[in-house]
Amino acid sequence: MNIGLTVVSYKYNASSHHLHIYYNTGLIELYHPVPEYIYNNLLRREDKTAFVQKYLQYDLNFNKVYSN
């Protein structure tokens, strides 16, 4: 992840376990399968970017399905 990237929003679908991450640069990433408890932890974190970096990008349990 580039230093200049900041998570600006996110969208979670509980039935499909898809998590969309939207960055300040317009980059969009889609992760699957993301359990609801991971999304709930994301909601509680102040630094969303650090959370995504630590728990999603480098975790082999989640697949980055899409990145533009």
Mean pLDDT on 40-68: 86
pLDDT of residue 62: 73
pLDDT of residue 36: 95
- Checking if the pLDDT of 2 tops 60, the result is no
Q: State the pLDDT confidence band at 1, using cuts at 50, 70 and 90.
A: very low
Which of these, 42, 20, 43, 15, lies nearest to 30 by C-alpha position?
20
Q: State the pLDDT confidence band at 18, using cuts at 50, 70 and 90.
A: very high
pTM of the entire structure?
A: 0.84
